[in-house]
C-alpha cells in the first residue's frame, strides 16, 4: 500500500500520511517519495488558492523524524554486532586457558584440587582448612608461606576420603602466636566455556564453578 494518499480537486491537492505505515526499513525510500509528491503539488497548485504550508511542514517533520529513527536503529544494530564480535574474540582467548580464581569453595569430584594464594609477608604460619556444609573443619594442612601452590586430594583428617561435593575452603594466617585473620585461596583451574551475562564476560571452569572474567587472572 502506498503510504502517501493524494486527493486532487482540479489542480489542487493535499498530502496525508499514516505514520503507522512507516515503521519499516524503507523509511528513506518513502521520504524521497513524499518529497517528489510535495514538489509536484507545489508546481500544480492554484495560484489564487495556494496550499496550506503548515500541513507540509508537519508532514516533513514527521518524515525527517522517521528517517532519523531508522538511522539510529541501523547504528544500534551495527554497534550490537561489534559487541557480539568483541565478546566472541574475548571468549576464544580464554577457552582452554589455565587460570587462577579466588574462591571460598572446594569443588571436589574425586581428583586433586589445586590452589594458590597471595600470602601476606607478615604471616609466618599458614594453615589451609577445608569445611563441610555445616562449617565444621574436616581437614587442615600447614602450608609453607613461600610455596606458590599446593593441592588437596580429598583426604580428610580422619584418613577417610571425601565424597564428591562442594566444600568450603579458607586460609588461616598467623604471625607467631597472633592470629591475623582469614583469606580465601585461589583455585588453579581451566576455562571450559564463556558466556555473556549482564554485558560482561562470564567464564565457566572444569570444576563446575564460574566467575566474571574481570575477577580471573592468568598465572
Q: Give yes or no: residues 35 and 114 share one domain.
A: no
| pLDDT at res. 77 | 62
Whole-angstrom Cα distance, residue 147 to residue 120? 12
| pLDDT at res. 219 | 84
CB within 8 Å of 178: residues ≥ 6 apart: none
Q: Give yes or no: residues 66 and 131 share one domain.
A: no
CATH number of the domain to which 165 belongs: 2.60.40.4070
Domain boundaries, position 51: 4-93
Dihedral of CA atoms 103, 109, 113, 118 in degrees, nearest 10, equals: 0
Percent of the chain with pLDDT over 70: 61
Whole-angstrom Cα distance, residue 109 to residue 50? 86
Q: Give yes or no: residues 68 and 113 share one domain.
A: no
Q: Give yes or no: residues 204 and 179 share one domain.
A: yes
Q: Give the range among 4-18, 44-58, 63-77 with minimum mean pLDDT.
A: 4-18
Q: Which residue has the higher pLDDT, 140 or 209?
A: 140
Q: Which of 93, 123, 153 is the last residue of a domain?
A: 93
Instruction: Render pLDDT for 13-56 as a digit per residue (tens, 0 to 9).
Output: 444 444 444 444 455 566 667 667 767 766 666 555 555 556 66
Beta strands in 161-199 (DSSP E): 165-175, 178-183, 186-197
Q: Give yes or no: residues 209 and 131 share one domain.
A: yes
Q: Give the range among 63-67, 83-87, 146-150 with minimum mean pLDDT.
A: 83-87
Q: Give yes or no: residues 167 and 189 share one domain.
A: yes
Q: Which of 54, 75, 93 is the last residue of a domain?
A: 93
Provide the domain count of the chain: 2
Whole-angstrom Cα distance, residue 145 to residue 157? 21
Greatest Cα-to-Cα distance within the chain, rounded to the nearest angstrom: 107
Q: Give yes or no: residues 74 and 103 share one domain.
A: no
Whole-angstrom Cα distance, residue 49 to residue 37? 18
Q: Give yes or no: residues 104 and 212 share one domain.
A: yes
| pLDDT at res. 161 | 95
Query: Does residue 5 carry a pLDDT above 60?
Result: no
- Burial string for 135-161 (b: 16+ CB within 10 Å, else e) reads eeebbeeebeeeeeebebebeeeeeee
Amino acid at each position: 500500500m502506498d503510504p502517501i494518499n493524494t486527493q486532487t480537486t482540479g489542480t489542487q491537492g493535499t498530502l496525508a500520511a499514516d505514520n503507522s505505515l512507516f515503521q519499516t526499513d524503507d523509511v528513506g525510500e518513502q521520504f524521497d517519495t513524499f518529497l517528489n509528491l510535495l514538489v509536484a503539488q507545489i508546481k500544480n497548485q492554484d495560484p489564487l488558492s495556494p496550499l496550506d504550508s503548515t500541513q507540509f511542514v508537519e508532514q516533513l517533520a514527521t518524515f525527517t523524524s522517521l528517517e532519523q529513527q531508522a538511522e539510529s536503529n541501523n547504528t544500534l544494530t551495527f554497534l550490537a554486532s561489534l559487541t557480539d564480535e568483541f565478546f566472541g574474540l574475548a571468549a576464544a582467548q580464554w577457552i582452554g586457558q589455565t587460570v587462577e580464581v579466588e574462591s571460598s569453595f572446594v569443588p571436589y569430584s574425586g581428583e586433586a584440587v589445586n590452589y594458590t594464594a597471595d600470602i601476606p609477608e607478615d604471616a609466618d604460619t599458614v594453615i589451609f582448612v577445608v569445611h563441610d556444609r555445616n562449617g565444621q573443619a574436616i581437614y587442615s594442612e600447614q602450608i609453607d608461606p613461600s610455596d606458590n601452590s599446593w593441592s588437596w586430594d580429598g583426604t580428610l583428617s580422619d584418613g577417610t576420603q571425601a565424597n564428591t561435593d562442594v566444600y568450603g575452603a579458607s586460609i588461616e594466617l598467623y604471625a607467631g602466636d597472633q592470629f591475623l585473620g582469614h583469606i580465601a585461596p585461589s583455585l588453579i583451574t581451566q576455562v571450559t566455556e564463556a558466556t555473556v551475562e549482564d554485558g560482561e564476560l562470564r567464564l565457566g571452569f572444569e570444576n563446575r564453578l564460574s566467575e566474571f572474567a574481570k575477577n580471573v587472572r592468568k598465572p
